[in-house]
Amino acid sequence: MKIALLEPLGISENSLERLAASLTKDGHDFSSFPRSDDRDENISRLSGVDVAIIANMPLPGEVIAGADSLKMISVAFTGYDHVDMRVCMERGITVSNCAGYSTDSVAELALGLSVAVCRNILPCDRAVRDGATKAGLLGNEIAGKTVGIVGTGAIGCKVAKIFRVLGCPVLAYSRTERDDLKELGVSYVTLEELMASSDIVSIHVPCNDQTVGLIGEEKLAMMKPSAILINTARGPIVDNDRLAEALTSGRLSGAGIDVFDMEPPIPKDYPLLEAPNCVLTPHVAFATPEALEKRAVMAFDNVCAWISGNPRNLVY
């Protein structure tokens, strides 16, 4: 088999060599490349390649269709909406992902953004640096606040458990209800009830045809004026233009956003950049050394499992 890693995975050279050895020891050919967003370059790199490994670089249909030998794509990421799945299905290309590698890191950032917004961390930092005081920077405790979790997969479940430990009543909306969360006192409700009743709403659903624009003007209008919205899932799930309007008008108290309609850098005229009480991070929820090492191991293990005829973590 010929395997190509099309972008760095954020791990050390030693780790990459060790993982590559799991393939080359059995006679497979492995090569790695720096990331390129040039279509023709990627088609060239995939010439004769059986297996491609990517992280979050887009893999459009024309690149996949131009890869004459491609049989499997190992996505070193939880989401796979950046891969043209229609073309993969048409060509019978197996696709696996690495769900679960970033559960802890994303959940911790969701908490961190919540604390940053509720306690005015960034304005407090600026105040100290500017020689000011705490005047006007009275924050809010999270303990006792109602937290709404939209999507209770692995990450949403972890976030729910964290907030329960902090003494928060937790509401949840999800396609599938989890008994372990119910045993912890989490209550499943409709999305409308969750939006209207929560002090903190944290988004943890995948991006697909059913969830794009899920949190738009209508759902944002249901939220309490004192509430905050946290999104560490996927940008298109939330209508960020309407979110910026809600924050600017005072219709919503605050937001913590790690994901946008595009990958950073964000355009200078992006509305959220000027919205008040909005903490923004550049899609870093998954990016810790611990998580990146886990996902690299999973991505290579997925390839080895597929080669051995026992594919796992399949999304198609």
Active site residues: 234, 263, 283
CA angle 284, 218, 164 (to 5 degrees): 50
Contacts for 263 with CB less than 8 Å, ≥ 6 apart = 56, 283
Token digits of residue 203: 């988004």
| Rg of the chain, C-alpha, whole Å | 21
Spatial distance between the Cα atoms of 126 and 53, rounded to a whole number of angstroms? 42
Token digits of residue 114: 């919540």
Spatial distance between the Cα atoms of 208 and 186, rounded to a whole number of angstroms? 25
Pairing of strands 72-75, 29-32: unpaired
User: Is the peptide bond preceding residue 265 cis, with omega within 30 degrees of 0?
Assistant: yes
Output the DSSP codes for 91-147. Answer: HT-EEE--TTTTHHHHHHHHHHHHHHHHTTHHHHHHHHHTT--STT------TT--E
Neighbours of 164 (CB within 10 A): 16
